[in-house]
Amino acid sequence: MACRHNPLISLPQEITLNIFSRLPAESVLDCKQVCRSWKNLLLFDDDNFFAYQHLQRRHGHGPHTTGFVAFDRDAQDFWYLEYHDEDNGINDKQPNYRSKMINIKFPADVCGGLVGSDNGLICLSVKTKYNGIPAYKFQLVDSPDEPLYICNPITREFVNLPRILIDEKKSEDDVHIVHGFGYHPLINEYKVVRVSYIGSANKLTPRRGLVEIYTLGSGSGWRYAGETDYYLGSDYFANPGGVCVNGRLHWLSDEFQDIVAFDLVDEKFQLLRTPTAQNRCPRRIFVAGHCLCIEYIIGDSLRYSLLKKNKEEDNGSSCHMNEQRYYKSWSWNTEVEMPFEVLCEVRSEICSITKMGKILLTDGREVDPYSREVLEFIGSCNFDFDWKVPLPHTNTFVSLEALGETNIKRFEL
């Protein structure tokens, strides 16, 4: 249908795109169905100009909106969740949340493994055929996950990454794999990092990790990036997926007292000290309010601290500098302390801490940090009570094809 009576048709293309960039992603997709002119204008696979224009609007759109993606308990349905951090909700007639099941049929080997999400791109993992390494003696452990798919639910693109290949003789021993996915704005690159540990270790020959990196659009596949002595994410609570904040991936170290950071620009590891002492046991790290958050035990409570830049040093300096200098300008700030009895009562884990200080739980409920009253904000979704949390996510039009990836596939409608 032609847009004969649409005044927007006479506007310059730059102005029209500027208007569309202010809409939520789902509304832009609806606009594509209005007429042929808008459908031809809103193409996303040629370049990412509109995608990044729209992304910047989303980042600046209300610091009070938090989005997530999550699989349901059976790892069959995939959900997008959005929480609006205002007292009165989206408006007077709507609650401060919305949830929507994403109509995507993932490949059969995807079993709910979320590696990371950045600028609308999601990295998914699958089980390998190798034997995993137990964190404790006599503990049963599944086969390790490996990152295998990158997708964008909005553009409906996905791409397969080459699978890990381990020599048959070596693979007879145990295999441990950690991974991460993230974006660094300084170099405008998306990278998947895979660290694999093969074979048993002892005090004389400690286990070393083989580091490999896949850069989206580079055409070079997995490339060797050295080895590391840091043993990452092997404890019971540890998630093998690295947490990406400010262009760096973060994992809890095997000693469980420090965080190991990996810079996506210089591709080097560095230790980041945690706010924990000997009598405080860190359990996990995740993203909360665009900050790195650490959860640790202190007495009969769980404490949550965010890594924030010191105000006196927040002078707009480059986000890439020597790692040691970079982290000296940041400090841990305690945001929430929650008694175990409260979390045991609700049988859930903290998912995020919003800009307004609200506590979101993994099962779709909200806790007031002062009264500790539990409120329901996503009533139609129930997630497993486990150590994983829904991933922070923003719906965008960043295109894998525009980034230079080949062999792009598309999810069927």
Q: Is the pLDDT of residue 172 over 90?
A: no
Backbone angles phi, psi at 98, to 5 degrees: -150, 150
In a domain, 17, yes or no: no
The pLDDT value recorded for residue 380 is 44
Span 100-149, pLDDT tens digits:
778 787 777 776 688 999 999 999 888 777 665 554 444 445 567 777 89
Cα 17 to Cα 381: distance, rounded to the nearest angstrom:
35
In a domain, 11, yes or no: no
Percent pLDDT > 90 in the chain is: 20
In a domain, 1, yes or no: no
Residue 379 — very low, low, confident or very high, per pLDDT cuts 50/70/90?
very low
In a domain, 263, yes or no: yes
Span 325-372, pLDDT tens digits:
567 778 888 888 877 777 666 666 777 877 777 788 776 667 766 655
The pLDDT value recorded for residue 139 is 46
What does pTM read for this prediction?
0.84
In a domain, 160, yes or no: yes
Cα 392 to Cα 117: distance, rounded to the nearest angstrom:
7
In a domain, 390, yes or no: yes
Three-state DSSP class for 388?
A: coil
Span 77-104, pLDDT tens digits:
788 888 877 654 444 455 566 777 787 8
Find the domain containing 55 and state its range: 43-410
- DSSP for 23-66, written as a single string: S-HHHHHHHHTT-HHHHHH---SS-SHHHHHHHHHHHHS-TTEE
The pLDDT value recorded for residue 255 is 59
The pLDDT value recorded for residue 173 is 63
Write the CATH number for 205: 2.130.10
Residue 35 structure tokens: 């007429």
The pLDDT value recorded for residue 193 is 96
In a domain, 230, yes or no: yes
Dihedral sign (CA 218, 221, 225, 229): positive
The helix (H) or strand (E) run that includes residue 125 is: strand 121-127
Q: How much is the mean pLDDT over the chain?
A: 76
Question: Could you tell me how far CA 107 lies from the centroid of its own chain?
Answer: 20
- Please identify which residue in the block is written with the tokens 């974006």: 183
The pLDDT value recorded for residue 236 is 47
DSSP assigned state of 241: B
Cα 67 to Cα 100: distance, rounded to the nearest angstrom:
11
Q: Which of 38, 6, 4 is CA-nearest to residue 23? A: 38
The number of folded domains in the chain is: 1
Average pLDDT over residues 67-86: 76
In a domain, 178, yes or no: yes
Q: Which residues of 341-350 are buried (b: 16+ CB within 10 A; e: fewer)?
A: eebeeeebbb
